[in-house]
Amino acid sequence: MENKNTIKSIILAAGKGTRMKSETPKVLHKIFNKELLGYVIDAVNNTGMAEENFVIVGHCADEVEAYVTKNYDNAKCRLQSPQLGTGHAAYQAYEDLKGFEGQVLILCGDTPLITSETLNEFIKVHNDNNCALTVMSAVFDDPTNYGRIIRDENGNLKAIVEEKDASDAQKKIKEINTGVYLLDWAKVHEAFLNLDSNNAQNEYYLTDIVKWTIKQGLKAQSYIMSNNEESYGINSKKHLAQASKILKDRVIEKLLADGVTIVDPDSTFISPETEIEADTIIYPCTYIEGKNKIAKNCKIGPFARIRGDVELAEGVKIGNFVEIKKTKIDAHTNVCHLSYIGDSTLGSNVNIGAGTITANYNHITKEKFPTVIEDNASTGSNSVIVAPVHIGENASVGAGSVISKDIEANALGLTRAPLKILKGWFDRVKK
């Protein structure tokens, strides 16, 4: 028997997402610069139980597969062509699961709000009740467009009916199918060999495996998730914006509880992969995406952008209209307003003057180069550091300089044309 502490997943990601009105595959749209599909795969992996993930691709299959292959070692793609419904989609992993006797988790690739905590609880309930199949459900005041959970007179799971096939009475049911299932694969896998397309859409519904399971006398149940927001599926740009807001509110609520000061939560956006310690202050209109670590007593913003792979030590100040990416900054360093710092390492007690730019990108070779600025160094306003450059300890860069060579410790780097004063210039121009 397989270990109940390990699972394999099937993630449905083949749909076109017509209502997105975009050439980008739906599951590759982003929140905080992270793909929707990535949120789902990470939620599964973060349960600590994921042995293998099968991503079912269809529309723009090559593009989705390239993303999966680049970012996940334990995920493989399987092509659904033609696309004949959710049951047919999940069946594309059937051969890969032959002989598997463990549990299979099935999810949708466009539900970025699902959490590993909810999945762990879902799996626990399934195991505690020794079920062959458990479907995750949610309760909504307005269940329109969702498949309804049908129960018998004793409250036991009976079937799932899609809205287009539902009667008027069934449409009044508020418990809906979220599209997440957990299967005891050894007991339920034959359901995929018995699906039919006798429905309004002429498709093979994944929901029909519930009917098959119950018909076989196997135990099936519905698990009602505690937070129905986690079931939110993305089908339009409006949905994408709404999910972004839900996610950012969730993150900010946690950070506030952890002792981070966020001056204006409504205008502040912080990715869930960013760690921030207590007593740091985030000023309004700050946008933080990607994975970052921010220590205590930092001050960030207003109107700052942190783009990912950034580490800020204690007491760092990031001024207004500053952009930072792929940079490590040591304690008590200031990056003043209107600056861009990328692919850099800054020491402690460094002062970056207003308007300083690390020119890190060669547009011809497409290469990016590092800048290193050591402890107690400083750059004057409107400096350009043309990477790769190393600025030594206690060194200074004069205001308005373009620095393309290393500056040794304790030295001043300065590039500045001689000042010319043309007397009487205004009068001559006026004439």
pLDDT tens digits, 10-41: 999 999 889 999 999 999 999 999 999 999 99
The answer to whether residue 337 is catalytic is: yes
Other beta carbons within 10 angstroms of residue 80's beta carbon come to: 23
> Helix or strand or coil: residue 134?
strand
CB 173 within 8 A of CB 146: no
**How far apart, in Å, are the Cα atoms of 393 and each of 328, 382, 414?**
16, 20, 16
Listed residue (102, 59, 49) closest to 79, CA to CA: 59
Which pair of tokens denotes residue 299?
A: 């001050």
Measure the CA–CA gap between 392 and 376, rounded to whole angstroms. 9
> Which domains does the chain show, CATH number per domain?
7-231 (3.90.550.10), 237-413 (2.160.10.10)
CB 173 within 8 A of CB 160: no
CB 10 within 8 A of CB 56: yes
DSSP state of 284: S
CB 285 within 8 A of CB 262: no
Amino acid at 122: F
pLDDT at 16: 87
Which pair of tokens denotes residue 266?
A: 């409504």
∠ Cα 118 222 125 (to 5°): 50
Instruction: Pick out the chain residues at pLDDT < 50.
Output: 1
Question: Which residue matches tokens 């309930």?
Answer: 125
For residues 119-130, one letter each, b for 16 or more C-beta atoms within 10 angstroms of the residue's C-beta and e for the rest, the string is beebbebbeeee
Listed residue (182, 177, 179, 181) closest to 149, CA to CA: 177
DSSP characters over 150-161 = EE-TTS-EEEEE
Catalytic residue among 59, 239, 332, 337: 337
Residue 272: partners with Cβ closer than 8 Å, 6 or more residues away = 32, 247, 250, 251
Other beta carbons within 10 angstroms of residue 106's beta carbon come to: 23
pLDDT at 1: 46
Task: Note if the bond before 370 is cis, omega within 30 degrees.
Answer: no
